[in-house]
Amino acid sequence: MPLNEKKLLIIIPCFNEEVSIAQLLTELLSLKLPYRLCIAVVNDCSTDNSLSVIQPFNIVVLNLPVNLGIGGAMQTGYKYASRHNYDLAVQMDGDGQHPPSQLAKLLDHYKKTNANIVIGSRFISKEGFQSSFLRRSGIAYFHRLNQLFTGKRILDITSGFRLFDEKAIRIAANSYPDEYPEPESLVAFAKAGLTIDEIAVVMKERQGGQSSISSFSGIYYMIKVSIAMFFAYIRK
């Protein structure tokens, strides 16, 4: 199938991103890509003005009736992609950390390799925003844990900038972790036999909104995600 006939869905989970999401959508809609592009914003019960900011754009808006968190929002997007027969889906955060200019790197890598999943990584070339020392330490820990469970070396294990092909979309639409899904889902995807690659991208610092992981909850997050990754590993 020619590239310009392949359908690409950009999935953006959104919870209180009124400050940053308009700029993100403007930049995405200005891209010239050899795909039939559609953008779906999953509004996870935002309590700010995100919905009114999003509505003027020519995009799909999926409004959740209750707040499901990042995992539930993303699974909603993957279900939409699966039901509408998209060939590719790319997850991008609504806070401006993932510049649309970097999207071509994921698409080019997919075109060259046909990997089932392509992850945009901050830590290969170490350019752009690298996060705090404490968060980098946590990410390095999850990298080692994932390598133990799967044998795969993924440096930016918590990256939310990810491309899924049709096979990965179907799996994610059927079953996807909630709350903090990136590390846990990669264990499950590896067990399912999916090819997972990582490509260097340049990310920005969060342009607005607030992270779901506070310093107080960091230890709780690491314990909870470690347990989740273990159960994903042993689950049949």
CA distance 172 to 228: 16
Distance from the Cα of residue 112 to its chain's centroid: 21
**How many Cβ atoms from other residues are within 10 Å of residue 221's Cβ?**
16
**How many Cβ atoms from other residues are within 10 Å of residue 131's Cβ?**
18
In sequence order, which residues have a C-beta less than 8 Å from that of residue 119 and are 6 or more positions away?
A: 154, 156, 159, 161, 162, 163, 196, 197, 198, 199
Domains and their CATH numbers in the chain:
3-234 (3.90.550.10)
For residue 86, the model assigns a pLDDT of 98
In sequence order, which residues have a C-beta less than 8 Å from that of residue 146 and are 6 or more positions away?
A: 152, 154, 157, 183, 186, 187, 229
Please give the single-letter amino acid code of residue 62. Answer: L
For residue 41, the model assigns a pLDDT of 98
For residue 214, the model assigns a pLDDT of 46
For residue 4, the model assigns a pLDDT of 72
For residue 169, the model assigns a pLDDT of 98
Q: pTM of the entire structure?
A: 0.90
Shortest CA distance to 80 belongs to which of 58, 63, 101? 63
Instruction: Divide the 236 residues of the chain into consecutive groups of 10 and give the mean pLDDT of each group.
Output: 85 96 97 96 97 96 96 97 98 94 97 98 80 78 93 93 98 90 94 96 74 59 91 87
